[in-house]
Amino acid sequence: MKYPATRLCTLTLVLLTLTLSGCSGTKKESAAAAPPPGFPVVRIDTTSAAPITDTETYVGGRISLSRNGYVDPFDRPCNDLSSTPVKVRGRGNTTWDYPKKPLRLKFNDAIDMLGMGGDKDWVLLADYIDPTGLRNVLAFEIGRRLGVPFTHEARHVNLVLNGTYQGLYLLTEHTEMASSRVVTDPREGYLVEFDDYPSEEIFSTQTLDLPLKIKYPEVESLEGEARAAAIERVMGVFNTFEATIAAADGPGDYAAQVDVDSLIDWFLVHEITHNYEPQHPKSCFFHRGVDGRITAGPLWDFDYAYDYEPPATDVLFLKDRFWFKHLFKDPAFRERLKARWAAIKAPHVDTLPAYLDTVAASIHDSVEQDLRRFPTDEDMRLPADSSRLRNWLMQRIAALDEAIRGL
C-alpha cells in the first residue's frame, strides 16, 4: 500500500469537550460527541478503563451492542448483544498509527454480531483515511455479488470506548481458517497472503519473487521437519503455478492449478475499485478450494482504493501486474474475462451506484458526527463527499466496459 507522507496531526477536539487519548481512559460522553440516534452502537468498557496500547496485548473488558432504533435498509438481521466478556487489542499495520484506532475483538465463545454469524474473532475497522465509510463496504458488496469466496460480511456501527465516542467503524469478520470463515481441507489446505509488510515471516515465490505469508497452516508454531514440510508443501503449490503461467512459450495448463473463475472475479473487484494492493502486492489472500485448486479470496483492504491517487482513470492497470502479466498473454483468459464482464455488468455492476446511495444515506449522520470527532486532515483523510465517489464509480464502470470489450 502506498501511503502519503505521515505528519503530526493536531486535533482540535477540545472544542468538543474531549481530549484524544488513543484508546485509553474513561471519558464522559458529551452532547457534541455522542453517537447519533438511530444507528447501532458498540460499547466497550475495558477492565478498570485499561488503555489499549498496541497490536499485541489483549485487554479484558465487556462489550454490548444496541440497535439504537436502527432499521437496516437491506432488511438484514440486526440483533442486540447484552454485556458480554471480551478481549480487545489494536490491529493493523500503518492504520494503527492513525488517530482513530482499528481494533481486534476476541470472545470466549462464538458470538453472532448483527446477524453476521457466530465466531470468536471480529474486527472493528476504523477507516480513518476514508471518512465516507464506503470504500471497504462497497468492495465487499462487489465481492458478494460476484461470488468471490468467503467475502466478508460487514456492518457499520458507532463505537463508544470507555465512555468516549470514537466515531464510525466497520464491524467485520477476521480473516482466518474457521468453520464460519475460510474453509479448506484441514490436512492439505492453506490460506496465504501476498504481502511484503514485515510483521510476519515472508517467503518468496521462485519464479516471480512475490512476497508470501503462510497464514494456515500456522508454520510459526511448527518445528523441525514438520515446519519444513508444511512450508515446502504450500510454497510448492504456488511455485508450480507460477512456473506454468510464466513458461517461455506462454502459459501452460494453469486451469488445472487455479480456479480461473474466482481469479477473474477477484481481478474485476480490484479493477472496479482501482485498488493498488495487488501492484505491491499487499493484502492479497488465496486459499485451497474444495477441488484442490488455488482459489482467490477473501477480499481485504480497500480503504486506499478508488480515486485517491490521481489519475484513477487508467483501466486494466493490473493486467501487467502480479500473475496477470502472464495470464493476459493467453487469448482464452481474455475471452473468459470478457464473457464474465458481459454477464455481470447489467445486474451487478451498473447497480452499484444505487447501492452506494443507499449506504451513504443510512450512515450520513454517523459520518457527520465522525468528522466532528476527527476533523478532516488533508494529508491523511480523504474527502468525505460520497457523491464524488459515486461520480467516479460511474466513470470507472464506463471506462472498464470499453477497455474490456476491446480486449
| Per-residue pLDDT at 18 | 34
- Residues 210, 225: Cα–Cα separation, whole Å: 24
Mean predicted confidence (pLDDT) in 173-188: 80
Q: Are 170 and 156 in contact (CB under 8 A)?
A: yes
Domain of 205? 191-346+394-405
Cα–chain center distance at 133: 12
Q: Are residues 208 and 339 in the same domain?
A: yes
280-304 CB burial, b ≥16 within 10 A, e <16: bbbbbbbbbbeeebbbbbbbbbbbb
The half-sphere exposure of 259 on its side-chain side, counting CA atoms within 13 A, is 20
Residue 155 falls within a domain, yes or no?
Answer: yes
Type of residue numbered 149: P
Q: Are 103 and 87 in contact (CB under 8 A)?
A: no
Q: Are residues 129 and 206 in the same domain?
A: no
Q: Which three cell numbers stand for residue 61?
A: 473488558
| Residue where a domain stops, chosen among 123, 144, 173 | 173
Residue 380 falls within a domain, yes or no?
Answer: no
- Residues 114, 149: Cα–Cα separation, whole Å: 21
Q: Are residues 289 and 201 in the same domain?
A: yes
- Residues 157, 66: Cα–Cα separation, whole Å: 10
Q: Are residues 268 and 314 in the same domain?
A: yes
pLDDT at 328 exceeding the cut of 60: yes
pLDDT at 70 exceeding the cut of 90: yes
Residue 379 falls within a domain, yes or no?
Answer: no
Residue range 135-174, pLDDT digits in tens: 999 999 999 999 999 999 999 999 999 999 999 999 999 9
Percent helix, strand, coil in the chain, to 5, is: 35, 20, 45
Residue 162 falls within a domain, yes or no?
Answer: yes
pTM for this predicted structure? 0.89
| Residue where a domain stops, chosen among 173, 205, 224 | 173
Residue range 252-290, pLDDT digits in tens: 999 999 999 999 999 999 999 999 899 889 999 999 999
Other residues' Cβ atoms within 10 Å of the Cβ of residue 249: 5
Mean predicted confidence (pLDDT) in 49-62: 96
Q: Are residues 197 and 244 in the same domain?
A: yes
Residue 22 falls within a domain, yes or no?
Answer: no
Q: Are 311 and 268 in contact (CB under 8 A)?
A: no
| Per-residue pLDDT at 12 | 31
Residue 21 falls within a domain, yes or no?
Answer: no
Residue range 24-34, pLDDT digits in tens: 444 444 444 78
Q: Are residues 401 and 291 in the same domain?
A: yes
Q: Are residues 136 and 238 in the same domain?
A: no
pLDDT at 309 exceeding the cut of 70: no
Q: Are residues 132 and 250 in the same domain?
A: no
| Residue where a domain stops, chosen among 116, 143, 173 | 173
Residue 356 falls within a domain, yes or no?
Answer: no
- Residues 63, 50: Cα–Cα separation, whole Å: 14
Strand ranges in 91-188 using DSSP code E only, listed in sequence order: 103-112, 118-125, 154-161, 164-173
> Into how many domains does the chain fold?
2
Residue 372 falls within a domain, yes or no?
Answer: no
Longest dimension (CA), the chain: 68
Q: Are residues 147 and 56 in the same domain?
A: yes
Q: Are residues 199 and 114 in the same domain?
A: no
Q: Are 18 and 164 in contact (CB under 8 A)?
A: yes
Q: 3-class DSSP state for residue 240?
A: helix
Q: Are residues 317 and 200 in the same domain?
A: yes
Q: Are residues 206 and 289 in the same domain?
A: yes
Q: 3-class DSSP state for residue 238?
A: helix
